[in-house]
Amino acid sequence: MDKKLYCILQYAFLITITFPMLSSEAKQPMSLATDQTALLSLKHTSLLLATNWTNSTSVCSWIGVTCSLRHHRVAALNLSNMALFATIPPQLGRLSFLVSLDLTNNLFHGDLPHELSLLRRLKFISLRLNNFTGDIPPMLGQLPKLEYLSLRNNSFIGSIPKSLSNLTNLQFLDLRSNSLSGEIPKEFGRLQSLQTLYVQRNHLSGAIPSAIFNISTLVSMGFTYNELSGSLPTDMCRNLPSLTGLYLSKNQLSGTIPSNLSQCSRLEELSLSYNSFSGEIPSEIGYLTSLQFLALGGNNLNGMVQVLIT
C-alpha cells in the first residue's frame, strides 16, 4: 500500500475512534450520576437526608427531589422546612436541568455561591426565612428564565443589583426584611412581566423610580419601612390597571397624593400613612369601590374621604 495513503487511512481511523470518546466524555457531566454527586454535597446537613439519600435508591426517589420525565434529570429540589444548617455548596451549580430551587425556612447561612448562575433553566428560587448574608450577587441576573425570586427574611446587605433588571420573565420579586441600602434601580422599569414587587423593611433611600409605575402588569407593590423620599408621579395610576395593593407607609415621601387614583380602579389596599404628604385628600379615593383598607394617618393632609359612588 502507498505510504501516503496508509497514513491518511490511519489518521481517519484515529478520528473515528477519538471523536466518540470525546462525545461520551462530553455527555458524562450531563448524567443523573452528576446530579447525584451534586446533591450528596448537602447530605451531611441533616440526619433525614443522611438516612434517605443513599446509593441504594434512585436519586429521583430521594426526599425533596423531583426528576423530569423527559430528561430523567433532577428538575426540582424542595428542602423547605427541614432545619438544615449549612451553606449552599457550589456543587449545586452542576444541576443543569434544575427548574425549581426551594430552601425556604431553614438555617442556611453565608454568601450565595457564584455557581448558581450556571442554572440557566431555573424559573423558581425561594431562599426566604434563612440567615444568608453578604450582597445579593449580581449573577442572579444571568438566569434568563427566572420567574419567581424570594430572598425575604435574610441578612443581605448592600444595594439591590441593577442586573436583576435583566430578568425580563420575572413575575415575583420579594426582597423584604433584609438590610439592603441605596436606591431602587431605575432599570427595574424593564421588568415588564412583573406582578409583585416587595422591598419592605430595608434601609432603601432616594425616590421610587417613576419607571416602576409604568409596569402595567403590576398587581401589588410594597415599600413600607424604608427611608424613601421624593414625591409620587402625578399620573401614577395611568399605567396600573391591575394594581390591587400599594403599600408606602413609614417612609419620608412628600408632596401631594396623586389625584388620578381612580384610574387604579382595582385597588383593594392603599397604605400611605406616616410620611410627609400634604395638601387635600383627593376626592378620587371615593371612586375606589373595591377599596377595603385605607391608611392616611401621620401626614399633613386636609379634608376627608368621601364616598362618591351611589
- Quickly state the pLDDT bin for 169 (edges 50, 70, 90): very high
Cα gap 94→30, rounded to integer Å: 9
User: Which whole number is the average pLDDT over 122-129?
Assistant: 98
pLDDT of residue 30: 58
- Domain span holding position 256: 68-302
pLDDT at residue 22 above 60? no
Residue 24: inside a domain, yes or no?
A: no
**What's the pLDDT at 170?**
98
Q: Considering only 22-36, 83-97, 103-117, 256-270, which range has the smallest mean pLDDT?
A: 22-36
Higher-pLDDT residue of 46 and 12 is 46
Closest of 128, 45, 33, 28 to residue 82, by C-alpha = 45
Q: What is the pTM of this model?
A: 0.88
pLDDT at 308: 60
Span of 16-30, 195-209, 282-296 with lowest mean pLDDT: 16-30
CA gap 147, 72 in Å, rounded: 23
Assigned C-alpha cell, 118: 450556571
Give per-residue pLDDT as tens, 245-281. 999 999 999 999 999 999 999 999 999 999 999 999 9
CATH number (domain holding residue 80): 3.80.10.10
* CA gap 173, 171 in Å, rounded: 7
**How does pLDDT run across 62-77, given as a tens digit for each residue?**
999 999 998 899 999 9
Domain presence at residue 53: no
Neighbouring CB atoms inside 10 A of 31's CB total 12
| Residue 40 domain-assigned (yes or no) | no
Could you tell me if residue 9 is inside a domain? no
Inform me whether the pLDDT recorded for 96 exceeds 50. yes
Q: Which three cell numbers stand for residue 48?
A: 433525614
pLDDT of residue 304: 86
pLDDT at 45: 87
Q: Is 50 exceeded by the pLDDT of residue 26?
A: no
Of the two residues 14 and 225, the one the predictor is more confident about is 225
12: which residues sit within 8 A by CB, 6+ positions away? none
DSSP designation for 292: -
Higher pLDDT, 20 or 176: 176
Mean pLDDT confidence for 218-236 = 97
Whether residue 16 is predicted with pLDDT greater than 60 in this model: the reply is no
pLDDT for 182-192, tens place per residue?
Answer: 999 999 999 99
Total domains in the fold of the chain = 1
The verdict on residue 204 lying in a domain is: yes
pLDDT in the model for residue 306: 72
- The residues that bridge with 102 in the sheet, in sequence order, are 78, 126
Q: Is residue 25 part of a domain?
A: no
Burial of 302 (0-12, 13-18, 19+ CB in 10 A): exposed
Instruction: State the chain's mean pLDDT as an integer.
Output: 90
* Residue 46: inside a domain: no
